[in-house]
Amino acid sequence: MDWGNIFGNAIGEIISPTTAAYALAAIGLGVHFGYTGLLNFGQAAFLLIGAYAFAIPTLAGAPIIVAVLSAIICSVIFAFILGIPTLRLRADYLAIVTIASAEVVRYVVTTTGLTDFTGAANGLSGFKGTFAAINPIPEGRYGFGPFMYNEYDWWVRIVGWTLVVLASVLVFLLMRSPWGRVVKGIREDEDAVRSLGKNVYSYKMQSLVIGGVMGSVAGIIFILPRAVQPANYTTGLTFFIWTIMLLGGAATIFGPIVGAMIFWVVLSLTQGILYGAIESGALGFMTTTQAGQVRFILVGVALMLLVIFRPQGIFGNKKELSFSV
């Protein structure tokens, strides 16, 4: 087994753009669930919307700033469409409706009727030009050890992690303020907050929009190193983001970031080890495809154990557990 390679790949995941995208999406979900108590099981939809609303205008020739604005505006509109009917509902209904809405948008972009816009099941590609064009890094390969990347890969990483940091700062500023107090109050008991004269519905909507825009921007980062494929936006994606958020601690600033890093490093490690073991014949009964599936079994089991035994996550305060209901 090539341990150097296995660890190299795993370490590389720490700063990979995918990790940054998941971290950002988890920060947004943390605003929803961790701070406001909204059971959003449709975070994948925000990533999807960010991805398509960025890629489609870009492919139509729009400059990058327009494409980014389009992604943000579309996610705000989607948050409103999602929020208006659901934010009055009981928490568990909200979960079902958000997961359903996420599936609806996925079905819609996959439908063959929209092939000209969305590429249907094939998705979209060839939208990286505008982002690459504003890359200030000269061509070449940079870095050391496992962190050797070309100028584009570095550019994606730098932008991605900068956005993660900005989002974290924003969340920090919001949550230490009276605004944050109101949404945390809503998480605990919205009727009580209502009885104190706060427009609960409006705060929930603000929270949904903020977390949703973060998800949408995460959607852009997510596709910059790859193509847009509708199959990536299943409920599975939402559940991974949940796992990451709960891993780090739902109502914490650094939780989602560290959660995303751990998640991807561990996934990469298990993949490397399982594949290595299969190649060396130690796991003769398993194919490499099956090894890929074992990792998802582990994700499921890890999610269960985490929620049962450490619901506050790694960083969460034991007293401030992440579940009030």
Partner 1 sequence: MSNLDKNPVQSPAAAVTHPLVKGTVEPGCAKVDPIVIADHVTRQFGGLKAVDVDHLEIPRGQITALIGPNGAGKTTMFNLLTGFDKPNTGTWEFDGKSLAGVPAFKVARSGMVRTFQLTKSLGRLSVLQNMLLGATGQRGEGLFSSLVKPLWRRQEEENTVRADELLARFKLDAKREDYAASLSGGQRKLLEMARALMSKPELIMLDEPMAGVNPALTQSLLGHIKNLKADGTSVLFVEHDMHMVMHISDWVIVMAEGRVVAEGPPETVMKDPAVIDAYLGAHHDTDLGDLMDDGPNPVEVALEAERKAHDAHSEEK
Partner 2 sequence: MIAGIRIGPGVRFITMALLALALCLGVVLGSGALSASASAPAPTPTPTSDFTNTLTIGGVLRDDDNVVEGAEVTVEGAGGFSEVATSDDTGRWSVVVPEKGEYTVTIDPETLPDGVELRDPDRVSATVAANEWQTNSITRSFPLGVDDRQTTGFFEQFLQRLAAGLNFGLLIALAAIGITLIFGTTGLNNFAHGEMVTFGAIIAWIVAVLLGVNIFVAMLVALVLGGAFGYVQDWLLWKPLRKKGVKLVQAMIVSIGLAIALRYLYLFFIDGSTKTMNVGLSEAIVIGPVRITTGSVVSMVISVVALVAVGLFLTRTRVGKATRAVSDNPSLAAASGIDVDRIIRTVWVLAGALAALAGVMLGLYRQVSWDMGFQVLLLMFAAVTLGGLGSAYGALVGSIVVGLFVELSTLIIPADLKYAAALVVLILVLLVRPQGILGRKERIG
Integer Cα distance of 55 and 51 in angstroms: 6
Instruction: State which of positions 185-214 bind partner 2 (CB under 8 A).
Output: 191
| Segment lying near partner 2 (by CB under 8 A), choices 56-64, 135-143, 202-210, 242-250 | 242-250
The item of partner 1, partner 2, none sharing an interface with residue 199, based on CB under 5 to 8 Å by kind, is partner 1
Closest CA to 42 of 184, 211, 167: 211
- Is 80 near partner 1 (CB under 8 A)? no
The item of partner 1, partner 2, none sharing an interface with residue 16, based on CB under 5 to 8 Å by kind, is none
- Is 93 near partner 2 (CB under 8 A)? yes
- Is 128 near partner 2 (CB under 8 A)? yes
- Is 2 near partner 1 (CB under 8 A)? no
Nearest approach, Cβ of residue 197 and partner 1 (Å): 4
- Cα within 13 Å of Cα(4), Cβ side: 2
Among 6, 38, 193, 261, binds partner 1 (CB under 8 A): 193
Please give the C-alpha separations between residue 223 and each of 90, 127, 184, 191, 286, in angstroms, as whole numbers: 34, 9, 32, 40, 31
Closest CA to 183 of 170, 167, 198: 198
Among 1, 65, 73, 121, binds partner 2 (CB under 8 A): 121
Among 32, 106, 187, 204, binds partner 1 (CB under 8 A): 187
The item of partner 1, partner 2, none sharing an interface with residue 7, based on CB under 5 to 8 Å by kind, is none
- Is 137 near partner 1 (CB under 8 A)? no
Residues whose CB falls within 8 Å of the CB of residue 195, separated by 6 or more in sequence, listed in order: none
The helix (H) or strand (E) run that includes residue 179 is helix 178-188
Among 1, 65, 88, 282, binds partner 2 (CB under 8 A): 88
Integer Cα distance of 26 and 22 in angstroms: 6
Nearest approach, Cβ of residue 87 and partner 2 (Å): 11
- Is 275 near partner 2 (CB under 8 A)? yes
Tell me phi and psi for residue 181, to 5 degrees: -65, -40
Q: How many residues bind partner 2 (CB under 8 A)?
A: 71
249 by Cβ neighbours in 10 Å (0-12 / 13-18 / 19+) ranks as buried
Instruction: State which of positions 160-179 bind partner 1 (CB under 8 A).
Output: 170, 173-174, 177-179
The DSSP string of 76-107 is HHHHHHHHHHHTTS-HHHHHHHHHHHHHHHHH
- Is 139 near partner 2 (CB under 8 A)? no
Integer Cα distance of 211 and 241 in angstroms: 13
Task: State the residues that interact with partner 1 by CB under 8 A.
Answer: 170, 173-174, 177-182, 184-185, 187-189, 191-200, 206, 319-321, 324
